[in-house]
């Protein structure tokens, strides 16, 4: 998506707009672009970026985590990102982990490894499962996966991550409990790609097993994933050898 350039006054207004999350997201992207251009005035909006890192909307928190990774000299961003590793939204945690790598900070490494694997989606409530999607259907954050029917009302089961439906753990019409895993999502290629690139820099030998699953090709991934996985394994092993 191409975002319209915002003036300084518009940035102030959009970052403070709590009624239009899309405005805040637009402004965050603009702050990121200014940082990447080397525009020192971008620091003027750092406090607002920190505020949005705690916004109730996970998409804004995730975008703020990505923006903070653009300035790896900012101590306030570094501190905020480490706290975001405990966020309840997986996409926020993953963006925070990726951004921390830019600070040469490996504290998000477990989350980076998680990016390579499948993700279990829990039932948001107890009730009867009604699946909407089938295996191999693509999903994005917010995609409706199914519903939980309870006492005449329906509770939506939505994806928190991009990827595809790998398999349902419970059959249609099954009774499920709140928090019980009901569907497994395979990771999106872009998530695997970013995870592999980050682990090339901060991965440890114990991560190699997860990475090697991609070193011999993958039916759902393009050839670049296999190549990057091989590079990442090699870098981790060379780094481990240099410590001995």
Name the least confident of 15-24, 195-204, 218-227: 15-24
Diameter of the chain measured on Cα atoms: 63
pLDDT band at 52 (very low <50, low <70, confident <90, very high): very high
**How much is the average pLDDT of 229-237?**
97
pLDDT at 19: 78
Per-residue pLDDT at 217 exceeds 60: yes
Q: Is the pLDDT at 204 greater than 60, yes or no? A: yes
pLDDT at 1 over 80: no
Which band of pLDDT confidence, cut at 50, 70 and 90, is reported for residue 18?
confident
Specify the pLDDT at position 103.
Answer: 98
For 79-92, the pLDDT digits (tens) are 999 999 999 999 99
Residue range 126-136: average pLDDT?
A: 96
Residues 119-187, CATH architecture: Beta Barrel (2.40)
Residue 14 to residues 9, 33, 58, 92, 196, Cα–Cα distance (Å) = 9, 15, 17, 21, 34
**Domain spans, the chain:** 8-107, 119-187, 189-243
Is the per-residue pLDDT at 220 higher than 90? no
Least-confidence region, from 9-13, 136-140, 181-185: 9-13
* Edge-first strand listing for the sheet containing 163-168: 119-122, 181-187, 163-168, 138-139
What value does the mean pLDDT take over residues 72-80? 96
pLDDT band at 3 (very low <50, low <70, confident <90, very high): low
pLDDT of 57 strictly over 90: yes
Interval 145-169 mean pLDDT: 95
CA distance 109 to 111: 5
For the chain, percent of residues with pLDDT exceeding 70 = 99
| pLDDT, average across residues 201-205 | 98
Of 1-10, 51-60, 139-148, which gets the smallest average pLDDT?
A: 1-10
Distances (CA, A) of 200 to 36, 184, 209, 239: 23, 26, 14, 10
Q: How far apart are CA 227 and CA 207, in angstroms?
A: 17
- Residue 176, classed as helix, strand or coil, is strand
Average pLDDT over the chain, rounded to an integer? 94
> Could you say which DSSP state residue 53 is in?
T
pLDDT at residue 2 greater than cutoff 80: no
Q: How many helices (H) and strands (E) does the chain have?
A: 10, 8
The domain defined by 8-107 folds into 1.25.10
Strand order across the beta sheet in which 144-150 lies? 153-158, 144-150, 127-131, 175-176
């Amino acid at each position: 998506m191409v975002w319209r350039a915002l003036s300084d006054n518009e940035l102030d207004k959009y970052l403070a707009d709590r009624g239009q999350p899309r405005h805040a997201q637009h402004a965050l992207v603009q702050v990121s672009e200014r940082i990447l251009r080397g525009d020192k005035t971008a620091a003027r909006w750092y406090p607002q970026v920190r505020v949005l890192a705690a916004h109730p909307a996970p998409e804004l928190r995730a975008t703020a985590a990505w923006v903070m990774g653009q300035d790896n000299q900012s101590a306030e961003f570094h501190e905020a990102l480490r706290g975001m590793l405990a966020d309840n939204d997986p996409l926020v945690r993953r963006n925070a982990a990726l951004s921390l790598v830019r600070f040469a900070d490996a504290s998000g490494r477990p989350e980076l490894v998680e990016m390579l694997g499948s993700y279990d989606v829990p039932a948001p409530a107890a009730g009867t499962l009604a699946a909407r999607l089938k295996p191999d259907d693509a999903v994005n954050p917010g995609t409706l996966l199914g519903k939980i029917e309870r006492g005449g009302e329906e509770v939506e089961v939505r994806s928190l991550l991009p990827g595809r439906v790998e398999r349902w753990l419970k059959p249609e019409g099954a009774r499920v409990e709140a928090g019980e895993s009901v569907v497994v999502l395979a990771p999106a290629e872009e998530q695997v790609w970013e995870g592999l690139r980050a682990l090339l820099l901060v991965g440890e030998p114990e991560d190699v097993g997860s990475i090697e699953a991609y070193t011999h090709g993958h039916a759902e991934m393009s050839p670049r994933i296999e190549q990057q996985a091989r590079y990442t394994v090699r870098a981790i092993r060379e780094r481990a050898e240099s410590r001995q």
